[in-house]
Structure formats: C-alpha cells, structure tokens
Amino acid sequence: MMILIAFFQADAYHTERLNMVRSQIENRGIKNPLVLEAMRKVPRHLLVPEKQKANAYEDRPMSIGDGQTISQPYIVAHMTDIIKPNKGMKVLEIGTGSGYQAAVLAEIVDQVFTIEIVENLGKKAKADLEKLGYKNVFVKIGDGYQGWPSEAPFDAILVTAAAEQIPQPLIDQLKEGGRMVIPVGKEGAVQELILIEKVKGKVKTTNLGSVRFVPFTRND
Ligand code: SAH
C-alpha cells in the first residue's frame, strides 16, 4: 500500500513537472532541447523544504530557509540557456542554494562546481544532490567571490545572487570563448542580468534585462 501511494505521488509530480516545462518554459520561448530535457528530469519537489513540496512546480521563487530562495523555474531555464550548455563542459556556479540549478546543469554538462556561503544550505544541498545520485556536482562552502582557482578555468560561470560589481576573480577564471551570466545591481533595486563573453582575451558585456535576485554577500 505504501509503495503504491508513493508510486502515484511520484507520478503526480512527474505530470506537474511536464506541465511546468510546457507552460512556463517552452511557452516563454526557450527552445534548447538539452535545457528542456534537463528541466523535465530534475525532481524540483525533492530539493525544496518538505512543507513546500506540493508547491514546488509553481511559477515563482520559493523560500528555502536562512533568508534564501530557490529561483523560479523559468529563471533557472533562462540562465542555463544563456550559457549554451553542452556535454564536456566544466561549469562553476556561485550560490548553490537548494542545489536545483546545479542539478539542472549536471544533467547536461560534464562537471559542476558550486559554492554556497551559508553553511546550512551548502550542507543540505550536498546531501540532497548525493541522495539524488548526482556524482558530477562538487559543493564547497565559502565565499564565491574568489571563485574556485584550483579547478579553473571554466567553460561557463553562473552567478545566482546579485552582485554590485562583477567579481574580477570570476572573469579571470572564465575560459577563452567562455560565457558567464550574473545579475548585477543593489539589493531591492532593479538588477540587470549581464552576459559576459571572453573573446580573444577581451571581455564583451551584454545586458539581458531586469531581474530580481537575493544579494551576493561577503564573509567579513
Ligand atoms: N541557485 C540556487 C538559488 C540560490 S539563491 C538554487 O537553484 O536554489 C542565491 C544563493 O547565493 C543563496 O543561497 C545565498 O546564500 C548564496 N550566496 C550569496 N552570496 C554568496 C557568495 N558570496 N558566495 C557563495 N554563495 C553566495
């Protein structure tokens, strides 16, 4: 009986997830089949706090405790799409949070290195990602401002907290031809999603429009 209930519940979440991808992601113009397939696979309901499980596939960000949030599904798909993910890539994420964005990336690319400044969140995300069987995600607790020098350079860097300035160490750790996406702006103010490309050693910046993220914090 328990097994049967668990089976029907899992199936209900699967249906919700497919609907989420169609209505929130495809309908808003995201076409990359790798991104859509990854979003259809990752069990978002298993990466949100237990009491939020039933709301996991709603079209909004959600609290994950410690004053932090898991991004809205569309934002995760959009940021993943922007870096043009592909197998073989090595990606750095700053702001692990729930681990959801890291899991979506891990479905597509070779390796994901992710840094979280809030110890509780980093530990929980690491445990959850292990439970889900992701062997290609590496979680570190610390200030992501300095990046992950021993693993650099990266094919792509994704920052999921809004910084007032783009951290230079992250630009330095981006591979030639690499792409970095980062929300830039003050807390509570309008923030812009910025794409940074390294082309022939030069840094090219493109503004992709307004967004709202939790602030990028620093360890004192
Ligand atoms: N990518 C996450 C969303 C996390 S919200 C997800 O998919 O759930 C942003 C996260 O960035 C928060 O957890 C916050 O604690 C973290 N953060 C803020 N400043 C940071 C920094 N300097 N280094 C690492 N993580 C940071």
Question: pLDDT tens-digit profile of 88-97?
Answer: 999 999 999 9
> Which of 94, 113, 119, 182 gets mutated to test ligand 1 (max ligand atoms within 8 A of its CB)?
94
Q: How far is the CA of 72 from the centre of ligand 1 (A)?
A: 14
Helix axes 73-82, 100-108, angle to 10 degrees: 40
In 3D, which of 199, 125, 114 has the Cα closest to residue 160? 114
pLDDT band per the 50, 70, 90 thresholds, residue 8: low
pLDDT at 115: 98
Q: What is the pLDDT of residues 138-172, one digit of tens each?
A: 999 999 999 999 999 999 999 999 999 999 999 99
The CATH number of the structural domain formed by 61-211 is: 3.40.50.150
Catalytic residue list contains 63: no
CA 149: distance to chain centroid?
20
CA atoms of 68 and 101, how far apart (whole Å): 14
User: Is 0.85 surpassed by the pTM of this model?
Assistant: yes
Which whole number is the average pLDDT over 20-48? Answer: 97
Atom of ligand 1 lying closest to residue 100 CA: 7
Angle at Cα 161 formed by Cα 146 and Cα 77, nearest 5°?
115
What's the chain's average pLDDT?
A: 94
Going by alpha carbons, the residue nearest to atom 16 of ligand 1 is: 95
pLDDT band per the 50, 70, 90 thresholds, residue 186: confident
Strands 174-184 and 191-199: what pairing?
A: antiparallel
pLDDT at 30: 98
Walk across the sheet containing 111-116 and list its strands: 137-141, 111-116, 90-94, 154-159, 174-184, 191-199, 202-211
Evaluate: CB of 216 within 6 angstroms of ligand 1.
yes
Write the CB contacts of 179 (distance below 8 Å, at least 6 apart in sequence): 82, 83, 84, 155, 156, 157, 195, 196, 197
Phi, psi of 211 (to 5 degrees): -145, 175
CA distances from 144 to 93, 129, 147, 166, 211 (A): 9, 19, 5, 12, 20
CA atoms of 137 and 126, how far apart (whole Å): 8
What is the residue extent of each domain of the chain?
61-211
Angle at Cα 120 formed by Cα 210 and Cα 153, nearest 5°?
60
CA atoms of 87 and 85, how far apart (whole Å): 7
Catalytic site residue from 23, 63, 71, 98: 71
